[in-house]
Structure 1
Amino acid sequence: MPDTKRVTSADVARLAGVSRATVSYVLNDTPRQTISAGTRTRVLDAAARLGYSPSAAARTLRTGRSDVVLCLLPDWPIGPEVGSLLGNLSAALTRHGLTLVVHPGSRGERPVAELWKAITPAAVISYTEFTDAEAAAMRSAGVAVVVAVPRRGRGRELAVPQELVGRRQAEHLVAAGHTRLGYAYPDDQRVRFFAEPRLAGVRAACAARRLPTPVGLTVPLDPSAAADCVRRWQSTEVTAVCAYNDEVALAVLAGARTAGLSVPGDLAVIGVDDIPPARLAAPPLTTVTTDQAVVGAHLAATVVAAMSGRSAPELPAADIVRVVPRDSA
């Protein structure tokens, strides 16, 4: 049976021939300590040889705070866009000396209190709202609470306004001369969090220009079912469709081919997210993209501000949501 004993600072001190205090000073880069370059090198070499890593729990006791940021996600499908956000957020938090831990899934699977108490994070980011009691319990324990929701409410709001994404779609199609729009709604109820405000943005853009209300249809990721939707749009004189995201837009493209229509000649299509297959579609898919590197950096800066009691910075949403024009619209 393999030896699973944890390597300690005492093991590093023994191999380097120094005291445990010296190991602590070197590995924690403690200021105002006169340690020679040779001793420092011996300690670092010994730690590397043994594969030593300081205990997170001990570091928390020593510094008085954790370096973990817990991100609570609802039961979302983790697609390319959410994955990109989490990757950029993790990198941005690392630059602040913080470590991201993500917990996806329904709250019914495990109570919020069990999660944050098990991890004792410095901050919690949530894409759903907390109850007053949940938020108060975390703040009483010194945990910064950051709520990232795209609607007006309690807490710090960080998410890109999804209405803006929908408006960008509609504005692009209207600028191309389309006056009768459709909206391709996803058949996955888990993403209503994003889909409903995007549809609201499309509707608002049409209302502002006194155009008919968009014809919304739920489009499955199936060519035959998508073709039925395309025919229904055609029967109502829809000439352009805003899709919830690129996957749904690709389904609309497949439905148009199945129905014998050309894109964009008979039906223009615009998606959201700019996933890699969007560039490979036939025709290449026009889409709306959000700069997730900026979003991740902004979210990390907001977490740091919350931890220090400062106001959150403003997200330049209008500057980071843009249309990527291609041949489908």
Structure 2
Amino acid sequence: MPVYYFGEITTFKVGRELHIHKTTSADVAKEAGVSRTTVSMVMNEKAGSIPERTRERVLQAAQKLGFVPSAEARTLRKGHGSTVLCLAPGWMPSGRADSMWNALSKQLTNAGLSCVFSRSAGTTTPLRQLLSDMTPGVVVPFFDFSDGDRKLLKNLGIPLVEFWSPDVDQEPMPVFSRFQYNLGNTQGKYLISGGCKRIGYIGASDPLGFGLRAFRIRGVEDALAQSGQKLTCNLEIDLQDFESVREALKTIREKQTDAICCFNDDCAAAVLTGCKEMGIKVPDDLKVIGVDNLSMGQYFEPSLTTVDFDHDMSEYVAQIKEAIDERQHERHGKKNEKQDKDGIALGPQNVWVVKRKSA
């Protein structure tokens, strides 16, 4: 019976050649003076019948040699993997984004799944390259996935769960797309409730963020449409070029805009600084609202009104688990009846306004 492993990799040189040695269960067995079967039982937490002294000897040998049980072997034994490969968008990293990924990872762990994140696979580096080193149970991209990578996963038999779509008119709206929409919609509704009549939008010029921005703008537009309004302007600023902020504010003044929805708090900070330089009084002449509720916002002058949100990832976890369970049933030849979700409202995504002086 073959033994599969994925242990610590060490390198050594013989002459000019570079050799790789992997620590195997056989190495651990030799070090501990036990059989490979005993090592396997201990490392896979099935050592109920093995004396405690023997178990400790195996664990000490494994630690000394740097042995790690094989994820590949577990995948082959179970018929499916329990690792979730999340492909995060690699643009404008922020503390709030990291908090969201941490929350997803924690909730997946609580559901008995492992979580691995990549900020480059499928975007700046080939997904195939990463899949040559690991076999995930499911792949979860948070950006516009390529048709080539969809085909790759299909050929490998790896389920794909997509929470994002570049189509702002898609119904039903995927959960991550809907989250972006809700952020903008909350901004628009808040400003309208405060009596604003001429509302504009400002986003960052980073092309990698255009997808998220499109859904947030649609959310603002739909909120305005309910009161018979339209955006006065839809502008871009380069956070590395303050002149672009000045130009945007000139347009805002020309359009007689009385409130601005900013893509995030970074954009809002640039707008507040530009307003102070150009003599635009906030909130008397222009109200400003951001997204993310970054801690720095409360220290701006005036302090920044913004949109905050929680990190309930239960809807994401439920769809991921469903995909993994379906794969397990398919591999074992079992029929897995899908529940009819038509007409069932998706769970709430808690989004709210943190009111401060800027709006």
| Same fold, TM-score > 0.5, yes or no | yes
Root-mean-square deviation over aligned CA pairs: 3.0
Moved over 4 A (4+): 1-4, 105-109, 112-115, 150-156, 310-315
The question of 1:231 aligning with 2:250 is answered yes
Relative to structure 1, the CA distance from residue 40 to residue 153 in structure 2 (aligned partners, 3 Å threshold; closer, same or farther) is: farther
Match in the other structure for 1:13: 29
Deviation at 1:287, TM superposition (A): 1.1
Match in the other structure for 2:320: 303
Deviation at 1:83, TM superposition (A): 2.5
> What one-letter code is carried by the residue in structure 1 that aligns with 2:214?
E
Q: Which runs of 5+ in 1 are unaligned?
A: none
Match in the other structure for 2:231: 213
What's the TM-score, normalizing by structure 1? 0.85
Relative to structure 1, the CA distance from residue 100 to residue 75 in structure 2 (aligned partners, 3 Å threshold; closer, same or farther) is: closer
**Which 10-residue stretch deviates more, 196-205 or 14-23?**
14-23
The question of 1:179 aligning with 2:197 is answered yes
Relative to structure 1, the CA distance from residue 152 to residue 102 in structure 2 (aligned partners, 3 Å threshold; closer, same or farther) is: farther
Deviation at 1:272, TM superposition (A): 1.0
Match in the other structure for 1:29: 45
Report if aligned partners of 1:246, 1:271 keep a CA contact under 8 Å in 2.
yes
Write out per-residue CA displacement over residues 147-173 of structure 1, whole angstroms, 9 at most, x where no aligned residue: 121556599933151222111001111
The question of 1:104 aligning with 2:120 is answered yes
Relative to structure 1, the CA distance from residue 135 to residue 229 in structure 2 (aligned partners, 3 Å threshold; closer, same or farther) is: closer
Deviation at 1:78, TM superposition (A): 2.7
Deviation at 1:107, TM superposition (A): 4.5
Match in the other structure for 2:353: 323
2: CA distance, partners of 1:108 / 1:207:
38
Aligned length in residues: 323
Report if aligned partners of 2:72, 2:134 keep a CA contact under 8 Å in 1.
no
> What one-letter code is carried by the residue in structure 1 that aligns with 2:233?
V
> What one-letter code is carried by the residue in structure 2 that aligns with 1:82?
A
Relative to structure 1, the CA distance from residue 314 to residue 115 in structure 2 (aligned partners, 3 Å threshold; closer, same or farther) is: farther
> What one-letter code is carried by the residue in structure 1 that aligns with 2:35?
S
Match in the other structure for 2:312: 294
Write out per-residue CA displacement over residues 165-211 of structure 1, whole angstroms, 9 at most, x where no aligned residue: 11100111121221111111221121111111211211111111113
1: CA distance, partners of 2:53 / 2:346:
47
1: CA distance, partners of 2:171 / 2:196:
39
The question of 1:125 aligning with 2:140 is answered yes
Partner of 1:266: helix, strand, or coil?
coil
Report if aligned partners of 2:139, 2:159 keep a CA contact under 8 Å in 1.
yes
Report if aligned partners of 2:308, 2:353 keep a CA contact under 8 Å in 1.
yes
2: CA distance, partners of 1:277 / 1:141:
46
Partner of 1:214: helix, strand, or coil?
coil
Report if aligned partners of 1:239, 1:267 keep a CA contact under 8 Å in 2.
yes
> What one-letter code is carried by the residue in structure 1 that aligns with 2:49?
T
Relative to structure 1, the CA distance from residue 18 to residue 118 in structure 2 (aligned partners, 3 Å threshold; closer, same or farther) is: closer
2: CA distance, partners of 1:156 / 1:134:
22
Q: Which runs of 5+ in 2 are unaligned?
A: 1-9, 13-19, 327-337
The question of 1:195 aligning with 2:196 is answered no
Write out per-residue CA displacement over residues 10-47 of structure 1, whole angstroms, 9 at most, x where no aligned residue: 3332333322211111110127x522233223322332
> What one-letter code is carried by the residue in structure 2 that aligns with 1:327?
K
Match in the other structure for 1:61: 76
Report if aligned partners of 1:69, 1:125 keep a CA contact under 8 Å in 2.
yes
Partner of 2:161: helix, strand, or coil?
strand
Relative to structure 1, the CA distance from residue 116 to residue 48 in structure 2 (aligned partners, 3 Å threshold; closer, same or farther) is: closer
Write out per-residue CA displacement over residues 92-137 of structure 1, whole angstroms, 9 at most, x where no aligned residue: 3333232314142665753x45544553321111222453x75455
